[in-house]
């Protein structure tokens, strides 16, 4: 899709016009008179302003299709609602032949720049579907949209560019996470990362098993022992400001299929474990957007990828390995494997000169029990950095909830025979997993951990979002890179 912006007064004659309608039922004054009348008539319908309800008028060549999206209370309007309004409007065009649409972006309270970026992102989000491998063309739901116009005043060129880059990145993360494990092996993830690096103009290096062995990544490699697929430790580097070191390190869990290993998972829902590499997909996709936007900041992204399978050489409960940091790890539960790959990724980022590290992982079912499916868990240190990540991520559209991480939890992961153990009981499971990662964080490093196990997937279409992988954290990572470019 291509995006452009026009003044609202110049947006008449659109094939599809998408208009938000708030609880006060005030229609945009810039709408052409005929379309204002349509919106006012639809606004009189019961529930027309209910959040993300969609009412459609299909007219002739003159009026086109008018889509009214319930925007709820005007006092609660923010950038995330603007995204969702755009998504709901574009989603209403599924199974139509619409080729062009115009979205009226309400700048109330958020300004023209944020309203425009949000509308572009929302349009992208609605144009993704999970049915990638259906063979019949009639099963495809998406319209042939070629152009989306944002009706808004002001010079919003940068907002269009930013929204396009972020929207494409989120959908890329969704696509990678949606692929079945036989079509998204560690080696294929590396191929995808190379394509992203080439398009975005960033450097890439893929470390094979032998190189990882030479670096002492035995914690990461322990997870790969049961699989015939070779592990791929993917490193992307972007140097927007030049010089040494990295202002931000991003580490994403890359388990391309998680059976649980010897501690095998139940069969129900195991097919979703093809998306256990959502963290890796997120950092790769975010790096693509960062390369496209070119902020003046240095960023390193790391995706330690492998399968976790119960082969003849697989790690056994009770085995002990030495991580890259030098700490020894007792593996009590082979299904607690994500933390094993992440600690070596975190150590690698620090040794490459990253002063801040954010890791992203579908790490624990416990976080979904604690927070449900609407917030990702946020851990880290120091508290000032955690709050900074929460604020920046929230402004970008990711809902993050800070969780405790104290010495009591760090003490619970101490092993009787090694330095730390990868499993210490179900109570507070998400916190203990974060405490395990914390063991790899060096004293001066600012660190945040995003547990997205509750937010990475939706089993149903929502009023404003398609089902399947959701791409959480991509927006946060891109926004953090831009934030540190300004500070």
Residues belonging to the active site: 265, 339
Q: Which residue has the tokens 């709820």?
A: 72
Sheet holding 320-322, edge to edge: 320-322, 328-330, 420-421
Rounded Cα distance between 455 and 465, Å, is 13
Strands, E, within 100-247: which ranges? Answer: 100-104, 147-151, 203-207, 232-239
> Do the bridges between strand 147-151 and strand 2-6 make them parallel or antiparallel, or are there none, so unpaired?
parallel
Rounded Cα distance between 332 and 329, Å, is 9
Rounded Cα distance between 471 and 487, Å, is 27
Q: Which residue has the tokens 């309400």?
A: 106
Give the list of residues 6+ apart from residue 33 with CB closer than 8 angstroms, or none: none
The structure tokens listed for 116 are 């425009």
Give the list of residues 6+ apart from residue 283 with CB closer than 8 angstroms, or none: 236, 250, 251, 252, 301, 302, 303, 360, 477
Q: Is 91 helix (H, G, I), strand (E, B) or coil?
A: helix
DSSP state of 30: T
Rounded Cα distance between 74 and 402, Å, is 28
Angle between helices 157-178 and 278-293 (to 10 degrees): 160
Rounded Cα distance between 102 and 147, Å, is 9
C-beta of residue 405 within 8 angstroms of C-beta of residue 381: yes
């Amino acid at each position: 899709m291509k995006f452009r912006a026009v003044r609202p007064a110049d947006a008449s004659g659109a094939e599809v016009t998408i208009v938000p309608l708030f609880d006060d039922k005030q229609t945009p004054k810039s709408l052409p008179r005929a379309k204002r009348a349509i919106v006012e008539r639809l606004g009189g319908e019961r529930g027309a302003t209910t959040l993300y309800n969609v009412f459609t008028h299909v007219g002739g060549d003159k009026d086109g299709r008018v889509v009214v999206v319930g925007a709820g209370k005007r006092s609660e309007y923010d950038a995330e609602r603007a995204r969702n309004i755009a998504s709901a409007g574009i989603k209403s065009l599924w199974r139509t032949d619409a080729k062009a649409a115009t979205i009226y972006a309400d700048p109330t309270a958020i300004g023209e720049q944020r309203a425009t970026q949000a509308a572009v992102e929302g349009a992208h989000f609605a144009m993704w579907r999970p049915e990638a491998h259906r063979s019949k063309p009639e099963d495809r739901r998406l319209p042939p949209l070629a152009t989306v116009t944002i009706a808004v005043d002001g010079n919003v060129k940068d907002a269009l560019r930013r929204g396009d880059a972020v929207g494409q990145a989120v959908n890329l993360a969704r696509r990678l996470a949606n692929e079945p494990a036989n079509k998204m092996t560690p080696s294929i993830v590396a191929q995808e990362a190379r394509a992203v690096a080439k398009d975005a103009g960033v450097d890439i290096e893929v470390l094979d098993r032998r190189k990882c062995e030479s670096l002492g990544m035995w914690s990461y490699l322990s997870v790969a022992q049961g699989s015939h697929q070779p592990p791929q430790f993917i490193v992307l580097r972007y140097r927007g400001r030049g010089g040494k070191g990295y202002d931000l390190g991003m580490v994403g869990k890359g388990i391309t299929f998680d059976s649980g290993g010897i501690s095998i998972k139940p069969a129900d829902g195991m097919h979703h474990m093809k998306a256990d590499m959502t963290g890796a997909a997120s950092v790769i996709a975010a790096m693509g957007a960062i390369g496209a936007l070119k902020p003046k900041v240095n960023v390193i992204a790391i995706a330690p990828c492998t399968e976790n399978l119960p082969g003849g050489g697989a790690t056994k409960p009770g085995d002990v390995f030495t991580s890259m940091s030098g700490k020894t790890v007792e593996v009590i539960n082979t299904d607690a494997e994500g933390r094993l790959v992440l600690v070596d990724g975190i150590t690698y980022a620090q040794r490459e000169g990253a002063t801040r590290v954010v890791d992203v992982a579908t790490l624990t079912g416990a976080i979904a029990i604690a927070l449900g499916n609407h917030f990702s868990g946020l851990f880290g240190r120091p508290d000032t950095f955690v709050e900074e990540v929460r604020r920046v991520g929230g402004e970008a559209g990711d809902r993050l909830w800070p969780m405790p991480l104290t010495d009591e939890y760090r003490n619970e992961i101490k092993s009787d025979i090694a330095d730390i153990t990868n499993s210490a009981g179900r109570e507070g499971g998400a916190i203990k997993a974060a405490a395990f990662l914390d063991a790899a964080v060096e004293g001066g490093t600012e660190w945040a951990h995003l547990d997205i196990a509750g937010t990475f997937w939706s089993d149903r279409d929502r009023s404003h979002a398609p089902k399947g992988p959701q791409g959480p954290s991509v927006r946060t990572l891109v926004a953090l890179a831009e934030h540190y470019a300004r500070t």
